[in-house]
Structure 1
Amino acid sequence: MEEKIQELQARINMYGLLSRLFIEEIDEQTLRKIKETPELLDLFPKTKEWNKFNEKDIKQLIEEDLNVDFTTVFLLNVYPYESVFMNDEGHIDASITNPTLVFYREHGYSIDLNETRALSPDHIAVEMEFMMTLAKEELEALQKGNQKEAERLRKIQKQFLEEHLANWGTIYLLSAKDMAETPFYQDVCELALEFILSDYDALAEELGEEAAV
């Protein structure tokens, strides 16, 4: 039981970190925490060996390199919205018929975009935050000894990954990684890609279901 709780907390932390990294430009505090925490820094192998990361002032690195890369990749070229990648029109769909928003509503969740810079509920960071929320609720259910509710939440997580985040996210993250010029955002995309796929496989195995992604 304790091992399962630790695994869930690790998943919550990872989805939280990834959501933060994709929703807006990185801040000094977050980058410094990554730099000064060995277990976090190990998740960013290219960044770890990047001369500018090791030699440049953090504020200067953010302003001159990382913010430029973030804007180029995520705001100008590879839009991080499911509707852009899944629809032939290639437009952001912020309507009430957006399939991701429909999924949220069908499972009793609402999304407040006023607290984010996202233009639509199918932004990759919002989808990651949704996964984090589900994992938090699963953790609470387990701590209360409610195995049935925990399993229900695991099934929703697997379904959401299968139908949404792991479905389009893999294509998106590969495209964004190719576009990124800094080792940091290359690492961010690679970390997210590997984590999402491994998380999906782990959920499928735990539920005794065949992986479909």
Structure 2
Amino acid sequence: MGKNTKISTADLEEIFVDRRDVKFWKKEGLKHSYLFWVRAMLSRDPVSVERPRISTASIGVDVSVKERKDIYELLAKCFDVPTLELIKNLTDGSFSDMLRCLNVPEGKKLILDTGDLDNEEALDVLKKEYTGLFFDTYLPFIPPYESIYRGEKHVMSKYTRDVDSFYRKIGLGVESDMPDHISHECEFVSILCEKELNALKETEKEGYRVMRNEFLRNHLLGWGSMFCSDLCVLAKSDFYKGISLIGKEFFDLEYNLVCSR
């Protein structure tokens, strides 16, 4: 479904069972179709149609396991509820070294331009934006869940269950949120990278590497770039604008490295 495609009532009735959903998306769908997740809600198979666009800046670049671990860990923290420690680590510029493999000068500058975000008042502002971006009850907002971006129309879908099964393979679980929250998925990849780095046997390293690439192909890289594109559109602060640019560039790079081979 394109950004300006007209949505008919008949089409919506084929997608949604509840008449209230039909009425809601008839009104809101076209208005907010600039967001990928909205188009995913109104299409049966959106991801197969709209694959991530590979950044030309990413072509020819490779990423070490340590760089992957650090960047996925950073993204996991940035896509979660903001903390004072995170803000300080980002704004003092110490994060720049771990991003040297990415060509995102604008994203890095936006993060640094957040300036004096090292106090509770400024942190409260970012927390409010986080809530508004990801958990508002009125459009436009961005649900941070793979199941929605993959066109499942609801959380706790087959994607959610499969993500949870990946976590449990290495003894992990999510208690207070859906397993397919983008922060959890990024954290999981970071943990796999750390386990690969710490494994003593080459067979163990290979096992974690295979699991990581399988998870990336089947899950995170199928929607992470589109999530960041939506975030860039709606973000108001330099912080979230910068993170969206950094995240998109990295997911595009990973897609080029992992899914195109």
TM bin, normalised by shorter chain, reads 0.7 to 0.9
Q: Distance in 1 between matches of 2:234 and 2:160?
A: 30
Q: Do residues 29 (structure 1) and 73 (structure 2) align?
A: no
Q: Which residue identity does 2:89 align to in structure 1?
A: K
Cα displacement string for residues 101-142 of structure 1 (whole angstroms, at most 9, x for unaligned residues):
23434xx2343323xx5x21111111111101110111012x
1:70 aligned to 2:130?
Answer: yes
Specify which of 128, 143, 156 is matched with residue 186 of structure 2.
128
Cα-Cα RMSD: 2.7
For the pair 1:13 / 2:77, whether they are aligned, the reply is no
How do residues 60-99 of structure 1 correspond to structure 2 at under 5 angstroms?
Answer: 60-64=121-125, 66-76=126-136, 77-89=141-153, 91-93=154-156, 98-99=161-162
The answer on whether the counterparts of 1:94 and 1:120 sit within 8 Å (CA) in structure 2 is: no
Q: Residues 221 and 254 of structure 2 are in contact (CA less than 8 Å); yes or no, is this contact kept in structure 1? A: no
Once residues 160 and 85 of structure 2 are traced to their aligned partners in structure 1, the CA distance between those partners, rounded to angstroms, is 38
What is the TM-score of this pair, normalised by structure 2?
0.63
Cα distance in 1, alignment partners of residues 118 and 95 from structure 2: 22
Give, in whole Å, the separation in 2 of the partners of 1:40 and 1:48: 10
Distance in 1 (alpha carbons) for counterparts of 2:68 and 2:160: 29
Shift in Å at residue 165 of structure 1? Answer: 0.2
From the two aligned structures, give the one with the greater helix fraction: 1
The corresponding residue for 1:46 is 110
TM-score norm. by structure 1 comes to 0.75
Q: Given that residues 80 and 124 in structure 1 are in contact (C-alpha distance below 8 angstroms), is that contact kept between their aligned partners in structure 2?
A: yes
Task: Give the distance between the partners of 1:111 and 1:169, measured in 2 at CA.
Answer: 21
Kindly tell me the number of residue pairs found equivalent between the two proteins.
Answer: 187
Letter aligned with residue 251 of structure 2: I
Q: What is the aligned-residue identity percentage? A: 24
Change (3 A) 1:83 1:36: same
Q: Which runs of 5+ in 2 are unaligned?
A: 1-62, 98-104
Secondary structure at 2:180 match in 1: coil
Name 1:152's counterpart in structure 2.
207
Contact 1:27 1:62 in 2 (8 A): yes
Secondary structure of the structure 2 residue equivalent to 1:150: helix
Q: How far is the alpha carbon of 1:55 from its aligned partner? A: 5.4
The residue type equivalent to 2:93 in the other structure is T
Aligned to 2:173: 112
User: Which 5+ residue runs of structure 1 have no aligned equivalent?
Assistant: 1-5, 205-209
Secondary structure at the counterpart of residue 226 of structure 2: helix
Partner Cα separation in structure 1 for residue 159 and residue 83 of structure 2: 32
Query: Are positions 1:189 and 2:247 aligned together?
Result: no
Q: Whole-Å Cα distance in 1 between the matches of residues 202 and 251 of structure 2?
A: 24
Residue 181 of structure 1: how far off its partner (Å): 0.9
Kindly state the Cα deviation for residue 97 of structure 1 after the two structures are TM-superposed.
6.9
Deviation sequence 1:28-47 (CA, Å, 0-9, x none): 22211222235539762223
Q: Which amino acid aligns with 1:61?
A: A
Flag as ranges the 4+ runs of structure 1 deviating above 4 A. 94-97
Residues 110 and 178 (structure 1), Cα distance of their counterparts in 2 relative to 1, 3 Å cut: farther
Q: Which has the larger radius of gyration?
A: 2
Contact map agreement 1:78 1:175 (CA 8 A) in 2: yes
Q: Please tell me whether the aligned partners of residues 74 and 176 of structure 1 are also in contact (alpha carbons under 8 angstroms).
A: no
For the 8 Å contact 1:111–1:121, the answer to whether it is kept is no
Q: Distance in 2 between matches of 1:99 and 1:111?
A: 13
1:54 counterpart SS class: coil
